[in-house]
Amino acid sequence: MSALELRDVVVDYEGRGGRVRAVAGATVSVEAGRIVGLVGESGCGKSTLARAAVGLVPAASGTIAFEGREVRPLTRRARPADLVRLQLVFQNPYSSLNPRRTAGSQVGDGIRSRARSARVRELFEIVGLASAAASRYPHEFSGGQRQRIAIARALAADPSVIVLDEPLASLDASAQAQFANLLTSLARELGVGMLLISHDLAIVRHVADEVSVMYLGRIVERAETLPLWTQPAHPYSEALIAAVPRPDGEGVLPHSLPGEVPDPTNPPSGCRFHPRCPYAFERCRVEDPALVPLAGGRSAACWLQQQDAPPANLGQARGVK
Ligand code: SF4
């Protein structure tokens, strides 16, 4: 059993243009010590799914379970005892830190033992900050350091899973790389499972053990990170990978992902990706492919992969060398 399991989760909200299905049936699970990346363009529903995972927004249907117990929408500010070990870290930690309290006192909020100050110092060191920094105020830290404080505060609850919503988005490249290394070591050394939400596939590639790719409210591919990166099974995954800049300056293929993300209040018929897909054929416009298991333990929602003789890879199917 996975520590965090989301099955067929649907999340709706009332937008200006009417009811929006932000998440249209997503299944994701996170095991101890594993980092699961959830990637997609902004507006694809990944942050909404993260919030539903920790009970901050209600699911219209589907199930969300943490350590075998159903996660219900939170009705109070305080997290119920059985959800304390499921923590959420936001994109901008400054907004969730009280500017008038020292960083150490805020990290210590969740610690009940008498050895609290020793534990706070230890947590500062675990996240790569000097223990003496516990007496400083949030504005005295850089963005990357504040994000480490947010992780230390989450670790104070002895979590088995941390959901991180775009934790790297506000950091510069060097702070991103250091923070990514921290996440990897926390997963390996403390056995914490992580659901890492990011629009940045380049970072997720270096950190995550497996990746789920989300498009317009749906998971369209799920795979271990390396196979996804080297041989994506879904055209949308391929396009996201093609758009990641390479160190040699190559790699941004503007033609690979034409058009805008469609209006989620009125998603396209058939496969939701078909108006932007270079491989689309007639069936794609009328029938919606389900996410189905493929060889090698991966899953994809694409008719191309569900033909009698699926192509070895997408590039070959398109004649791209
Ligand atoms: Fe493209 Fe069709 Fe696959 Fe959708 S089902 S991703 S439109 S080939």
Q: What are the pLDDT digits (tens) for 59-99?
A: 999 999 999 999 988 876 667 777 889 999 987 766 778 99
Q: Which atom of ligand 1 is nearest to the CA of 283?
A: 2
Q: Which residues contact 145 (CB under 8 A, 6 or more apart)?
A: 129, 133
In this structure, are residues 256 and 249 in contact, taking their beta carbons and an 8 Å threshold?
Answer: no
Q: Which atom of ligand 1 is nearest to the CA of 234?
A: 6
Hey, is 23 helix, strand or coil? strand
Q: What is the mean pLDDT of residues 12-16?
A: 84
Residue 163 is given by DSSP the state: E
Of residues 105, 122, 107, the one with CA closest to residue 153: 107
Give Cα separations from 34 to 184, 185, 186 (angstroms): 9, 11, 10
In this structure, are residues 231 and 199 in contact, taking their beta carbons and an 8 Å threshold?
Answer: no
Hey, is 296 helix, strand or coil? helix
Hey, is 110 helix, strand or coil? helix
In the prediction, which pLDDT does 238 show? 93
Q: Please state, as a whole number, how many other Cβ atoms lie within 10 Å of the Cβ of residue 148.
A: 25
Give pTM, 2 decimals: 0.91
Distance (angstroms) between ligand 1 centre and the Cα of 128 equals 44
Q: How far apart are CA 316 and CA 304, in angstroms?
A: 12
Q: At 317, is the pLDDT very low, low, confident or very high (cuts 50, 70, 90)? A: low
Q: Which atom of ligand 1 is nearest to the CA of 305?
A: 3
Distance (angstroms) between ligand 1 centre and the Cα of 129 equals 47
